[in-house]
Chains A and B, each alone.
Chain A
Amino acid sequence: MTFSLIGRCARTGRLGLGITTYSLAVGGRCEGVVANVGVCKTQAFPNRTNDPLGIKLLAQGYLPRRVMEMFAINDTEHDYRQIAIMDRDGRIAAHTGPGCRGWAGHKDGKDCVAFGNGLVGPQVLEGMIAGFLENPGDALEYRLMRAIEGGRDAGGQGTPDAHRPERSAAIKVVDRRDYPDVDVRVDVHPTAVAELRRVLEEFKLYEEFYRGRDTDPSKAIPQDVFVKELDARRRVRA
Chain B
Amino acid sequence: MTFTLLARCPKTGQVGIGIATYSICVGLYCNGLRGNVGATMSQAFVNQGNNPLALRLLAQGYTPQRVLDDLEANDPNHEYRQIAVIDRNGRLAASTGAKNRGWAGHRVGEGYVAMGNVLTGEKTITAMAKAYEAATSLSFERRLLAAIEAGRDAGGQSGVDGHLPERSAALMVYGDYDHAEIDLRVDLHDTAVAELRRAFEEYDPYRTYYRERSKNPKDAVPQYQFVAELEKKQQEAAQ
Beta-carbon nearest neighbor of B195 in chain A: A188
A217/B80 contact (C-beta < 8 A), A48-B177, A49-B177, A203-B24 known? yes
- Known contacts A24-B202, A46-B214; is-contact A187 B184 (Cβ 8 Å): yes
Collect the chain B residues with CB atoms within 8 Å of residue A99's CB: 217-218
Are A51 and B203 closer than 8 Å at their CB atoms? Answer: no
Chain B residues with a Cβ closer than 8 Å to the other chain, count? 53
Give the Cβ gap from B30 to chain A, nearest Cβ, in Å: 10
Q: In whole angstroms, what is the CA distance A178 to B51 when docked?
A: 10
Main secondary structure of the interface of A (DSSP, over half): mixed
Q: Does B159 contact A (CB under 8 A)?
A: yes
Distance, CA A29 to CA B203, complexed state (A): 13
- Knowing A80-B217, A203-B24, A223-B22, say if A25 contacts B199 (CB, 8 Å): yes
Tell me whether A25 and B203 are in contact (CB under 8 A): yes
- A212 → chain B closest CB, angstroms: 10
Point out the residues of chain B lying under 8 angstroms from A80, CB to CB: 217-218
Q: Check: A160 CB closer than 8 A to any chain B CB.
A: no
Q: Is the CB of A185 within 8 A of B185?
A: yes
Q: Say how far A55's CB is from chain B's closest CB, in angstroms.
A: 9
> Which residues from B are CB-within-8-Å of A109?
none
Taking the complex as formed, is B179 at the interface, i.e. its CB lies under 8 A from any CB of chain A?
A: yes
Query: Which residues from chain A contact B218 at a C-beta distance below 8 Å?
Result: 77, 80, 99
Whole-angstrom distance between the alpha carbons of A216 and B80 in the complex? 10
Query: A225 near B25 (CB under 8 angstroms)?
Result: no
**CB of A101 within 8 Å of the partner chain:** yes
Considering the chains assembled together, what is the distance between the CA atoms of A22 and B225 in angstroms? 12
A164 contacts chain B at the CB level, 8 A cutoff: yes
- Among B25, B99, B222, B224, chain A packs the most CB atoms within 10 A around the CB of B25
Among A28, A183, A202, max chain B CB count under 10 A is at A28
Interface pair A214/B178, CB less than 8 Å apart: no
A145-169 vs B: 1/0 string, CB under 8 Å?
0000000000000000010100000
Closest to A80 in B: B217
Residues of chain A touching chain B, judged by Cβ–Cβ distance below 8 Å, are: 1, 22-25, 27-29, 31, 44-49, 51-53, 77, 80, 99, 101, 162, 164, 177-180, 182-188, 198-199, 202-203, 206, 210, 213-214, 216-218, 220, 222-225
B interface list, Cβ under 8 A from A: 1, 22-25, 27-29, 31, 45-49, 51-52, 77, 80, 99, 101, 118, 159-161, 164, 172, 177-180, 182-188, 198-199, 202-203, 206, 210, 213-218, 220, 222-224
Q: Which 9 A-B pairs have the closest CB atoms?
A: A28-B183, A45-B217, A80-B217, A52-B178, A217-B45, A217-B80, A224-B159, A183-B28, A188-B199
Q: List 16 A-B contacts (CB under 8 A).
A: A24-B199, A27-B183, A28-B182, A28-B184, A52-B179, A99-B217, A179-B52, A182-B28, A184-B28, A184-B187, A188-B202, A214-B46, A217-B80, A217-B99, A218-B77, A223-B22
